[in-house]
């Protein structure tokens, strides 16, 4: 690729206008933040939901897992639908599903309605990221602007910020108006996103009719079912390794094998396994993203739990201590994306994770708050370096026609890390978040950092810059 990495220098056909102005980008950014913010925001409302519906912690926790499971399955599925019916259509459809989900959750007369609402939130918000990436790629290719690094950096920053602010935002809403506000807030967010999309994003061309078979075959419903079964059983296994259900990975492998056989034979596969077999550098990017996600969520939630239980900080104090993480992430991601750097940020991601784990090893519940702030800042470097670099690597390694599904799979692998982290934290802490458990988490962080570092240094297909 030989074009400007910031994606703002358009060809003559754009008559000097910025092809990635706020009217086009803002609804895509807002839509892409709705999944991560809903993932974390619900945590502050679980106690109130349990009291109102007389449910225990194990039952209310299903509101978290159902969104993760639906999102992991639906991200590439929505990408597939976007490829067939048009990215803007599927983006708008997802926003409308989110709107309905917010109403159902806010008015829920029974706990079952909340499960339905959370499932619909997972489905609706899963449409945003793969379709947004497809819309950005389509515009960049049509206008020959090269890799839109600044836009990709904005997606990375938005995701990083919403992961951190989800918990305090949920606490603010639940504290002021009750847990129903956590669901109701999706209504104005969906309406704003919908209006901005209709104004700023051009309609899709009429969907082309595919003469290769029926809609059932074109959408690849059997592939979606096999993919859903394989992913769901694997995630359920990873979510509870303290008392593992060993038949789940067996079923997952069997369904995965059936999926590969089916996708190789069908004319319109959900996942082009032949392309992935040839494009092993993309597979490595997925694995690297899963590792980074595992480290991110293990450190974020493990540290938060330890600070509350062992160091005896309040939830609001924990939020303040973690603010440098978000601030440093934003600054680093902006610096890296402005220059289109890819390889060195990924190397520094591994280095930062190793250093973060090493610092954690020497921290105890009596450590001064300045040390904890320093740890938060150090982890912010890891978060900031990885977000844009992995996303840019995905962008340049994915075929244009497959970018929507490829982006969905990218998010699915991130969910592997997020769900697996809960099991690692449970194993490390056991019944209480002690210093010893916190130090066990630090060893995990060091190990993940070393793996990310090795995967990057040994992979010669990772470009130095996004425009190479």
The token duo for 437 is 């458990």
pTM summary value: 0.85
DSSP 341: B
Please calculate the CA angle 284-375-318 and round it to the nearest 5 degrees.
Answer: 105
**Do 168 and 299 fall within a single domain?**
no
| Inter-residue contact 348 to 462 (CB < 8 Å) | no
**Do 201 and 301 fall within a single domain?**
no
User: Nearest CA to 376 among 309, 308, 293, 296?
Assistant: 296
Owning domain of residue 39? 20-206
**Do 70 and 173 fall within a single domain?**
yes
Name the CA dihedral angle for 369, 347, 330, 393, rounded to a multiple of 10 degrees.
-150
Q: At what angle do helices 369-397 and 343-361 cross, to 10 degrees?
A: 150
**Do 183 and 280 fall within a single domain?**
no
The token duo for 329 is 């992430």
On the CB side of 191, CA atoms within 13 Å amount to: 6
CATH code (residue 116):
1.20.1250.20
**Do 158 and 31 fall within a single domain?**
yes
Q: Say if 187 falls within a structural domain.
A: yes
**Do 299 and 186 fall within a single domain?**
no
- Looking at 172, 187, 206, the residue that finishes a domain is 206
**Do 61 and 195 fall within a single domain?**
yes
Residue 206: Cβ within 10 Å count: 7
Distance spanning both ends of the chain, measured CA to CA: 6
**Do 48 and 192 fall within a single domain?**
yes
Q: By three-state DSSP, how is residue 465 classified?
A: strand
pLDDT score recorded for residue 25:
92
| Inter-residue contact 300 to 353 (CB < 8 Å) | no
* Per-residue burial over 382-391, b = 16 or more CB atoms within 10 Å of its CB, e = otherwise: bbbbbbbbbb
User: Nearest CA to 19 among 205, 206, 144?
Assistant: 144
**Do 195 and 304 fall within a single domain?**
no
Q: Say if 257 falls within a structural domain.
A: no
What CA–CA distances, in Å, run from 126 to 69, 81, 97, 121, 460? 11, 12, 10, 8, 32
Q: Say if 343 falls within a structural domain.
A: yes
The token duo for 28 is 């895509």
- Looking at 188, 206, 224, the residue that finishes a domain is 206
User: Nearest CA to 406 among 282, 287, 288?
Assistant: 282
**Do 294 and 152 fall within a single domain?**
no
**Do 320 and 455 fall within a single domain?**
yes
pLDDT score recorded for residue 388:
87
| Inter-residue contact 80 to 222 (CB < 8 Å) | no
- Give the separation between CA 456 and CA 285, rounded to whole angstroms: 9
What CA–CA distances, in Å, run from 104 to 25, 110, 119, 140, 187? 29, 10, 11, 38, 10
Tens-binned pLDDT, residue by residue, of the chain (468 aa): 333 344 333 333 343 467 888 899 999 999 999 998 888 788 778 878 888 998 886 788 788 888 989 999 999 999 999 999 999 999 999 999 999 999 999 999 999 999 999 999 999 999 999 999 999 999 998 888 887 888 888 888 887 777 667 767 777 888 788 899 999 999 999 999 999 999 999 998 876 655 556 777 888 999 999 999 999 999 889 888 888 899 999 999 999 999 999 999 998 899 988 888 888 899 999 999 999 989 888 887 788 888 888 888 876 677 778 778 878 888 898 899 888 899 999 999 999 999 999 999 999 999 999 999 999 898 889 888 988 899 889 998 888 888 999 999 999 998 888 888 878 888 888 877 889 999 999 999 999 999 999 999 999 889 888 876
Radius of gyration of the chain (CA): 21
Q: Say if 37 falls within a structural domain.
A: yes
| Inter-residue contact 182 to 44 (CB < 8 Å) | yes
Tally the domains of the chain. Answer: 2
Q: Say if 14 falls within a structural domain.
A: no
Q: Say if 221 falls within a structural domain.
A: no
Q: Say if 449 falls within a structural domain.
A: yes
User: Nearest CA to 170 among 160, 156, 185?
Assistant: 185
DSSP H helices in 201-322: 215-219, 221-239, 247-265, 273-278, 280-309, 315-321
The token duo for 448 is 């993940």
Q: Say if 36 falls within a structural domain.
A: yes
Compute φ and ψ for 465, nearest 5 degrees: -135, 160
The token duo for 358 is 């090493």
**Do 303 and 178 fall within a single domain?**
no
- Looking at 186, 206, 226, the residue that finishes a domain is 206
- Give the separation between CA 112 and CA 104, rounded to whole angstroms: 11
């Amino acid at each position: 690729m030989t074009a400007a990495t910031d994606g703002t220098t358009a060809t003559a056909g754009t008559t000097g206008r910025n092809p990635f102005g706020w009217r086009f980008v803002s609804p895509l950014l807002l839509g892409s933040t709705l999944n991560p913010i809903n993932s974390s925001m619900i945590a502050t409302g679980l106690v109130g939901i349990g009291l109102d519906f007389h449910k225990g912690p194990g039952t209310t926790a299903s509101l978290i897992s159902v969104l993760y499971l639906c999102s992991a399955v639906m991200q590439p599925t929505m990408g597939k639908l976007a490829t067939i019916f048009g990215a803007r259509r599927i983006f708008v459809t997802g926003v409308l599903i989110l709107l309905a989900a917010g109403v159902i959750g806010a008015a829920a007369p029974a706990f079952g309605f909340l499960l339905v609402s959370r499932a619909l939130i997972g489905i609706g918000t899963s449409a945003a990221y793969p379709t947004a990436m497809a819309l950005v790629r389509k515009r960049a290719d049509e206008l020959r602007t090269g890799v839109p690094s600044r836009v990709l950096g904005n997606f990375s920053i938005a995701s990083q910020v919403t992961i951190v602010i989800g918990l305090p935002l949920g606490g603010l809403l639940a504290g002021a108006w009750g847990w129903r506000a956590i669901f109701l807030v999706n209504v104005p967010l969906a309406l704003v996103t919908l209006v901005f999309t209709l104004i700023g994003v051009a309609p899709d061309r009429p969907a082309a009719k595919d003469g290769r078979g029926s809609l059932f075959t074109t959408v690849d419903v059997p592939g979606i079912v096999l993919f859903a079964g394989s992913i769901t059983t694997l995630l359920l296994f990873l979510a509870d390794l303290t008392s593992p259900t060993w038949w789940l990975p067996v079923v997952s492998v069997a369904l995965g094998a059936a999926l590969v056989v089916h996708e190789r034979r069908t004319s319109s596969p959900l996942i082009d396994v032949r392309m992935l077999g040839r494009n092993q550098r993309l597979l490595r990017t997925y694995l690297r993203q899963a590792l980074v996600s595992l480290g991110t969520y293990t450190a974020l939630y493990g540290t938060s739990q330890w600070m509350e239980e062992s160091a005896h900080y309040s939830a609001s104090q924990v939020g303040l201590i973690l603010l440098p993480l978000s601030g440093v992430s934003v600054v680093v991601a902006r610096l890296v994306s402005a220059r289109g750097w890819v390889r060195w940020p990924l190397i520094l991601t591994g280095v930062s994770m190793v250093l973060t784990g090493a610092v954690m090893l020497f921290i105890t519940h009596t450590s001064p708050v300045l040390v904890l702030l320093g740890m938060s800042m150090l982890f912010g470097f890891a978060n900031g370096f990885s977000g844009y670099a992995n996303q840019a690597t995905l962008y340049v390694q994915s075929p244009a026609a497959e970018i929507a599904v490829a982006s969905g799979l990218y998010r699915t692998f991130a969910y592997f890390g997020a769900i697996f982290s809960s099991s690692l934290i449970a194993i490390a802490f056991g019944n209480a978040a002690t210093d010893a458990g916190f130090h066990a988490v630090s060893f995990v962080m060091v190990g993940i950092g070393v793996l990310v570092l090795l995967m990057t240094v040994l992979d010669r297909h990772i470009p130095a810059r996004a425009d190479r």
